[in-house]
Structure 1
Amino acid sequence: MAGRKKAADFEQQLARLQEIVDALEGGDLPLEKSVALYKEGLGLARASREQLAKARNEIRLFTEGEVRDFDPEEGDDGDDR
């Protein structure tokens, strides 16, 4: 369920970021509002990039076989020697 919440949060961030871009591209906002939206957009973009980087690293770990199921018979370091 936590994965779904993260995905929903990410999607909500992207949707809000798109709203901000649309508003700024419209050019009808006062300067103060434009600056505030720009700052909010930077924060959302940064948070989204961080989430994507974490997801990319998780996928890399799984696809490169670095993550293994725990086997109590193997010992602490996973070495059978």
Structure 2
Amino acid sequence: MATTNSFDNNLKKLEEIANLLSQDDLPLEKGIKLFKEGMKIIAKCKTQLQKAKDEVETYLQPKENET
């Protein structure tokens, strides 16, 4: 069930990018590339979190048949 784009994998990749961006000797071009990659991953994570939130909210809503 785990995919290469799982939320946990995306968080790990973001951590790696953050560590690379904190290096003093990082060339500007590479820094910009990593920043853009990080922003794309953040967007994916936001989508995944929203999807999970929606699923939980749907599950917690009372069913029409239940009284």
Q: TM-score range by the shorter chain?
A: 0.7 to 0.9
Larger Rg: 1
Aligned positions, number? 64
Deviations 1:10-68 (A, max 9, x none): 111110010001110123210000000000000000100100000000000001135x8
Unaligned runs of 5+ in 2: none
Q: Higher relative CO (CA 8 A, sep ≥ 6), structure 1 or 2?
A: 2
Point out where structure 1 has 5 or more consecutive residues left out of the alignment: 69-77
Query: Over the residues paired in the alignment, what is the CA RMSD in angstroms?
Result: 2.0
Q: Structure 1 segments of 4 or more deviating over 6 A?
A: none
Other-structure match for 1:54: 51
Q: Which residue of 1 aligns with 2:8?
A: 11
Question: Please, what TM-score do these two structures have when normalized by structure 1?
Answer: 0.69
Aligned with 1:5: secondary structure? coil
